[in-house]
Amino acid sequence: MSDNLVVLNNLKKYFFIKEGFFSGKETVVKAVDGVNLKIRRGEILGLVGESGCGKSTTGRLLIKLEEPSGGEIYFDGEDITASNGERMRKLRREMQIIFQDPYSSLNPRKTVGKIIEEPFIIHKIGNRKERKERVKCLLDVVGLRPEYIDRYPHEFSGGQRQRVGIARALSLNPKLIIADEPVSALDVSIQAQVINLLQQLQEDFNLTYLFIAHDLSVVEYVSDRVAVMYLGRIVELSDSRELYKNPQHPYTEALLSAVPVPDPTLKKKRIILEGDPPSPITPPSGCHFHTRCRYKIEICKEEYPVFKEVTTGHFVACHLRD
């Protein structure tokens, strides 16, 4: 058995948008543009980057909520790139997602009991009594009282709703969970509770997480390794401690400089990136980051750097590291 649960090879997702209502021309949005990534069994891999860099699209591609435009997706040693229909239905039992918004991700017309029970009905697991007992058990696991089973989503707080979403994701005992910014819509005090719950569940059920977020302090706390994404591509990947202590890519360096320091007496040098992020419709030539990079050299404008290992387990795509 391979150490890697998930392997993404040159994964791409292009969206085609018409330029005008009467125009036949289309523009291509390169949301994910050649991602190579491996997720090890039992680890929490953090995926960070600016809004619009392709983080959530990568997660949705991994579990086939979006169909890739190119590349390969391997799950548990099996190529699932072209899988659909009944095969994907069976795979859904082993991969689940926790959505960012706990308000819109739950059906307001159903009780939380029915929401959590639905995966069992779809996959024809257990009878009505067995399903009800399993739902109550799941509510207890995520820190909610079993008697809440007949309540509707609007009767819960944001943190409680996200716990319902977590219970639904756990219902079929998956191997992989995509946590798509699971705490960004919650208050800070509630964020800590949900993060601690996710870590505890990972230990209890031997789960593997792809933890997508833009809050770098949260990612540092939960992740074993961290991948940094910029304009549809992974630009750096390393062990969490190593990445935060010794960033190798100028973009990672700038991101980390923006993380608030809890000590008000400690001054931190802030790196301000010049200009706006480039459009994924017309990405810059060469290294996509060179238009905002303060270290750029001539080759950065002409050639995209190779994603390579600079120290043990630390990968980066930057000409400065050649």
> 269-303 pLDDT, tens per residue?
788 787 778 888 888 999 999 999 989 999 999 99
- Give the H or E element holding residue 47: strand 44-48
Backbone angles phi, psi at 179, to 5 degrees: -100, 100
DSSP 3-state of 12: strand
Tokens of 245: 């202590």
Give the C-alpha separation, 181 to 197, whole Å. Answer: 15
Q: Is the pLDDT of residue 267 over 80?
A: no
pLDDT of amino acid 22: 67
pLDDT of amino acid 23: 66
pLDDT of amino acid 21: 67
- Spatial contact of 11 and 181, defined as CB atoms under 8 Å apart: no
Write down how long the chain is: 322
Q: Is the pLDDT of residue 264 over 90?
A: no
Give the C-alpha separation, 37 to 28, whole Å. Answer: 23
Percent of the chain with pLDDT over 70: 98
Backbone angles phi, psi at 40, to 5 degrees: -80, 155
Got the DSSP string for 220-264? Answer: HHH-SEEEEEETTEEEEEEEHHHHHHS--SHHHHHHHHTSPPS-T
- Give the H or E element holding residue 116: helix 112-122
pLDDT of amino acid 189: 83
pLDDT of amino acid 20: 67
Average pLDDT of the segment spanning 51-60: 93
The dotted CATH code for 4-43+50-83+227-321 is 3.40.50.300
DSSP 3-state of 42: coil
- Give the H or E element holding residue 176: strand 176-180
| pLDDT tier for residue 15 given thresholds of 50, 70 and 90 | very high
